[in-house]
Amino acid sequence: MSEHEGAPLSFPTEFYDAYIFDMDGTIYLGDELLPGVERMINELRRRNIPVRFLSNNPTKDPHQYVEKLERLGLPTDISDIANTVVTMTKWLKNHHPDAVVFPIAEEPLIKAFKKAGIKISEDPAEIDFVIASYDRTFEYRKLQIAFDAIWFHKRAKLIATNPDRYCPFPGGRGEPDCAAIIAAIEACTQTKCEMVIGKPNPEMLVEAIAGLDVDPKHCIMVGDRLGTDIQMAVRTGMVSAMPLTGDSTWQEALALDKKDQPTFLIDRADRLIPQTTWDDLGWTEDNWK
């Protein structure tokens, strides 16, 4: 039985003004491009259609994503990348430029804060924001600082880079993500995370298409997670497509209210290219590079 047997697949019949892609589970899994991705991206670029890449992963900076995409055969300009390192830094600079922050984070986010002139402190008495993120160096010491800043001093607010429960790996495995850090802090402080800057926050899409002369309603968001990628598109009124190559399943999509479902369900990335173009180019599913 096919992995997607029974899935009500639906494919776009036209090109859009811009394509915004999630990466993990949509463009690649681990260190391999997913089927059809390379020729799909190349065809969009051949037509001079803007392509942007988004990620909720704050453990890499945009330069690292550029390097990875280039290694996988997709040369990409750094201006085509938007992730929570970029979005969180810009949000703080735009809305709280004088805030003192304690990032529970890995080096890329910390480096971005320092470069932007955002003040970082481990002194709970002066912290304005505890920032939870996907942090594989998380330890009790960090939790204690967050606890003291929020619960004891009653000063800091908890915000986060992304709401993801886990980061998907090849072979069906995964790694605990930012939601685990948020939950630990909420549990001991009896407070709630007040804002999540990454997907599904529309700030991510705003950042992604900044500088493009396009109508968001004629752009398409492509991602494998209903609660982040697709929900962000729903919140901005953008067309969406969910490839069945990552986290969410077609059964989960159909269980949602119609308004929260992806516009299209696709089994492979190159199905974003209309069938008429497949026919003109002589594409087949067997030959997808």
99 and 158 in one domain?
yes
- Structure confidence by residue, pLDDT tens digits, 266-282: 999 999 999 999 999 99
Across the chain, mean pLDDT equals 93
203 and 187 in one domain?
no
Phi–psi pair at 64, nearest 5 degrees: -65, -35
| pLDDT at residue 1 greater than cutoff 60 | no
113 and 35 in one domain?
no
Q: Quick one: pLDDT band at residue 6, thresholds 50, 70, 90?
A: confident
Of residues 210 and 179, which shows the higher confidence score?
Answer: 179
pLDDT of residue 143: 98
Distance, CA of 34 to CA of 269 (rounded, Å)? 8
186 and 92 in one domain?
yes
189 and 211 in one domain?
no
Cβ count near 33 (within 10 Å) = 17
State the chain's maximal CA–CA distance in angstroms.
Answer: 66
Sequential DSSP letters for 243-276: ETTSS--HHHHHTS-GGGS-SEEESSGGGGS-HH
Give domain status of residue 7, yes or no: no
Contact in structure between 182 and 212 (CB atoms under 8 Å): no
186 and 275 in one domain?
no
pLDDT of residue 3: 64
Number of compact structural domains in the chain: 2
121 and 152 in one domain?
yes
Kindly give, in sequence order, each residue whose CB lies less than 8 Å from that of residue 283, ignoring residues fewer than 6 positions away.
39, 270, 273, 277
Give domain status of residue 74, yes or no: no
117 and 29 in one domain?
no
pLDDT of residue 5: 72
236 and 176 in one domain?
no
Q: Quick one: pLDDT band at residue 247, thresholds 50, 70, 90?
A: confident
Give domain status of residue 48, yes or no: yes
Out of 194, 227, 262, pick the residue that ends a domain: 194
- Give the CATH number for residue 89: 3.40.50.1000
98 and 38 in one domain?
no
Taking Cα atoms as reference points, which of 204, 201, 252, 203 lies closest to residue 224? 252
Give domain status of residue 6, yes or no: no
Q: Quick one: pLDDT band at residue 129, thresholds 50, 70, 90?
A: very high
Out of 194, 223, 246, pick the residue that ends a domain: 194
pLDDT of residue 24: 87
177 and 89 in one domain?
yes
- Structure confidence by residue, pLDDT tens digits, 139-148: 999 999 999 9
Domain ranges, residue 166: 83-194
Give domain status of residue 150, yes or no: yes
| pLDDT at residue 170 greater than cutoff 80 | no
The least confident of 41-45, 80-84, 157-161 is 80-84
Give domain status of residue 76, yes or no: no
| pLDDT at residue 232 greater than cutoff 90 | yes
pLDDT of residue 48: 97
Within 172-249, strands assigned E span: 174-176, 195-196, 220-222, 239-243
Distance, CA of 161 to CA of 89 (rounded, Å)? 10
| DSSP element (H, E) containing 205 | helix 203-208
Amino acid at position 237, single letter: G
Nearest 5°: CA angle at 28, between 25 and 33? 145
Tokens of 267: 């089994």
Out of 148, 171, 194, pick the residue that ends a domain: 194
260 and 157 in one domain?
no
Give domain status of residue 258, yes or no: yes
| pLDDT at residue 2 greater than cutoff 60 | no
Cβ count near 216 (within 10 Å) = 20
pLDDT of residue 206: 84
pLDDT of residue 289: 65
Q: Quick one: pLDDT band at residue 211, thresholds 50, 70, 90?
A: confident
- Structure confidence by residue, pLDDT tens digits, 13-66: 999 999 999 998 899 988 899 999 999 999 999 999 999 999 988 999 999 999
